[in-house]
Homo-oligomer: A and B are copies of this chain.
Amino acid sequence: MSDRYLRGVEILQRLHGHPLEKVTNAVAEIAPDFARMTIEFPFGDLYSRDAACLRTREIAAVSALAAIGAHPQLRVHIEAARSAGCTREELIEILMQVSIYAGFPAALNALAACHDLLATQPRAQAAE
């Protein structure tokens, strides 16, 4: 295990308490090297740098992922953003703001995809 991998795992544990998302787990079965690289480059190489704090990085992650419609990863980073100090209200506001840059469907579909993570009360996830 490379230093880069260990640095990445450490950051993921601070953000999630668990190192891998569901998609990455499925991927790890057929492409274990890529599951490792998904920790090494994003988290080991970039997130570990001091030039931006984790809160700043998670705001950027949530906004970019909602803009491009990558919902499985958006859900992971909504949770990470909460760990990094973003409030529920802030995250909803950031997803609303994505309507400016990527259109109303991008914002609406992102909010719907993260409905259960952003609701005040736990309940069944909204049907898309």
A residues lining the B interface (CB < 8 Å): 22-24, 26-27, 29-31, 33-34, 37-38, 40-42, 45-46, 49, 51-52, 56-57, 59-70, 72-73, 89-90, 92-109, 111-112, 115, 118-119, 126-128
Contact = CB atoms under 8 A, between A and B. Distances in A.
Contact of A26 (B51, B102, B126): B126
A45 to B, nearest CB: 6
12 contacts: A22-B128, A26-B127, A29-B115, A29-B126, A31-B96, A42-B104, A52-B93, A52-B97, A59-B59, A60-B94, A61-B63, A67-B67
A30 B119 contact: yes
**What does DSSP make chain A's interface, helix, strand, loop or mixed?**
helix
Nearest to A27: B111
Given A40-B45, A51-B90, 16 more contacts: A23-B108, A24-B108, A27-B115, A31-B111, A37-B96, A41-B100, A49-B93, A52-B90, A63-B63, A64-B64, A64-B66, A64-B98, A65-B101, A67-B68, A70-B109, A72-B112
